[in-house]
Amino acid sequence: MVSTLPSYLFKRAQIWYFRQRTPRHLVAYIGKTEFKVSLKTQDVYVAKRRSIPLAFSLQQYFSKYEKEFMTKTVHDDEQFTHLITVGESKVGDNTFPAVTFDLDDPKAEAEAFQAYMTMIHDHKSKGSLITPQEKASARNNTVLLSQAIDEYLTLKRDANNIHEHIDEKSVNAIEGKLRRLVDIFGDVAVDSLVLKDAEQYRNTLLRLPANINKLAIYRELSIEEILQSQPQETMAVSTTKSYIEAVSTFYKWCKKNRYVPDNPFEGLRVKKPKDAKLDNEERDPWSKPQLETLFSHEIFTQHKALHPHYYWLPLIGLYTGARMNEICQLYVDDIVDDNGVMLFKFTDERPDQRLKNKNSRRVVPIHSELIRLGFLDYLKNVKELKHPRLFNALTKSRDGYSKNASNWFARFREKLSINIEGKKQDFHSFRHNVSDFYKQSDSAREVDAAAILGHSDQMITFGRYGKNFEAKKLQNIIEQLDFRDVLKNVKPWKVES
């Protein structure tokens, strides 16, 4: 759905411009009748994004002078007129927006005010409907969903916003969740949504298909058409919660900026269906036969791999439980030696590194099986080649360094035909293998697994891991992992001469 074009945008010679008129009563005070600037783009969406912060800043500028103007003593010999403002009025089913009468002639201003009040009185006595012209006038004073969303996202993307540290991928994810509001309700006034609408939004999300944005079959369909198709695999409860959280945060911002009186999404709950999977079942670990098939491929038995990460990513994933991008973004100096214990340092210290959350910052000892398979020899070779990153062939995209690796592993799984129908298995399943191993172990504690996997209930804190878990202790935890039975055919890495 194409959003309404803001009144302050206009096009000349294929270039978009921003133009905002100075309020009439402030022209003499400010000394300018309008503010105009080229947005230097032919793309309307880029123009809208660039214009929002300009409009916001200019409104603040006008508000500053408005306060000075209103507090200034007005003498009889001055040409300023008093402002008459009528708040929003509701008559039956009709709502009259707030109106400010600002005319140069005080007599004309009073007559306009009287005419407006007479119109409200007539509607009240006759019960007549608002005319199309009046509706158009009301819309002109309304902030639409699309406009509020555009302004909110622009502020999120503002490079000068140093308080949030939010990357473009995260902003795009937020945008998708907010645009879903417009898909479901249309481009209505942002203050028109109430609690029953919030509940409708939640209930609609729960009926939409999982991965709706990634499936081509839904791209040309409306929400109504998608719902009528009755998709079998619907959006997960956790995903629905993330949508509601994003929208609630947006409405909190709207309330702060006085676009809405309250936040209808605040405290909105989502209950799990009785037949829903538990959190730990949302991904399935690989079975022993699946792992044996995977690690018996020629990539591991004959080193027939186009890139080294084809060999190392699954092995590191199995012996650390790390997420794919955490491994893909490792730099050479993220491999550290702590009194003889070699460690992976999973961090977001560099601008091109990102983690899921603060608990993901952690160190994990390099398992002896990885060392036996030649990981330290591989590391030495990368250093000799003076590559800064551990897997230099992987390039950064919007999602980090894992995109190409993730695509490769998906093709690899499909080629091996190891996925089982009804099971949700991918690279993240290695993480569940590690978690499941510790869960089934008699000697491992929950806090031990949390320290390795970077769960939120962990007691270890990156930068202070020696205080709670010394490197030797972490090494003892990681060495409990034993997958040698499924790696029996894996040939140790050999550096090419």
* Domain CATH number, residue 444: 1.10.443.10
Is 341 in contact with 475 (CB distance < 8 Å)?
yes
Q: In a 10 Å sphere around its CB, with 0-12 CB exposed, 13-18 middle and 19+ buried, how is residue 441 labelled?
A: middle
Is 429 in contact with 422 (CB distance < 8 Å)?
no
Q: Tell me: pLDDT of 238 over 80.
A: yes
Please give the Cα distance from 167 to 219 (Å, whole number). 25
Whether 62 is covered by a domain: the verdict is: yes
**How many domains are there within the chain?**
4
Whether 494 is covered by a domain: the verdict is: no
Residue ending a domain, choose from 276, 307, 332: 276
Please give the Cα distance from 377 to 394 (Å, whole number). 20
3-state secondary structure of 250: helix
Give the least confident one: 133-137, 231-235, 258-262, 302-306.
133-137
Please give the Cα distance from 77 to 416 (Å, whole number). 90
Q: Tell me: pLDDT of 236 over 80.
A: yes
Q: What is the mean pLDDT of residues 313-321?
A: 95
Residue ending a domain, choose from 41, 73, 105: 73
Q: For position 252, which CATH number holds? A: 1.10.150
Identify whether residues 479 and 384 lie together within a single domain: yes
For 144-159, the pLDDT digits (tens) are 898 899 888 888 876 4
- Supply the Cα-derived Rg of the chain in whole angstroms: 30
Amino acid residing at 324:
M
Residue ending a domain, choose from 121, 140, 159: 140
For 450-478, the pLDDT digits (tens) are 888 887 544 433 343 334 568 888 899 99
Whether 117 is covered by a domain: the verdict is: yes
Q: What is the mean pLDDT of residues 232-255?
A: 89
For 56-94, the pLDDT digits (tens) are 777 777 777 766 655 554 444 344 344 455 555 555 556
Identify whether residues 26 and 166 lie together within a single domain: no
Is 178 in contact with 247 (CB distance < 8 Å)?
yes
Would you give the distance in Å from CA 140 to the centre of its chain? Answer: 30
Please give the Cα distance from 450 to 468 (Å, whole number). 13
Identify whether residues 335 and 242 lie together within a single domain: no
Whether 8 is covered by a domain: the verdict is: yes
For 1-33, the pLDDT digits (tens) are 344 677 788 887 778 888 888 877 777 777 777
Whether 320 is covered by a domain: the verdict is: yes
Q: Give 100's pLDDT tier (boundaries 50, 70, 90).
A: low
Identify whether residues 110 and 172 lie together within a single domain: no
pLDDT (0 to 100) of residue 78:
42
Q: Give 246's pLDDT tier (boundaries 50, 70, 90).
A: very high
Identify whether residues 54 and 96 lie together within a single domain: no
Is 51 in contact with 86 (CB distance < 8 Å)?
no
Identify whether residues 57 and 179 lie together within a single domain: no
More confident residue, 83 or 240: 240
> Whole domain around residue 321: which residue ranges?
288-486
Q: What is the mean pLDDT of residues 301-308?
A: 91
pLDDT (0 to 100) of residue 97:
57
Whether 160 is covered by a domain: the verdict is: yes
Q: Tell me: pLDDT of 248 over 80.
A: yes
- Most confidently predicted of 158-162, 238-242, 261-265: 261-265
Q: Tell me: pLDDT of 415 over 80.
A: yes
Identify whether residues 347 and 393 lie together within a single domain: yes
Identify whether residues 340 and 481 lie together within a single domain: yes
Identify whether residues 61 and 85 lie together within a single domain: no
Whether 194 is covered by a domain: the verdict is: yes
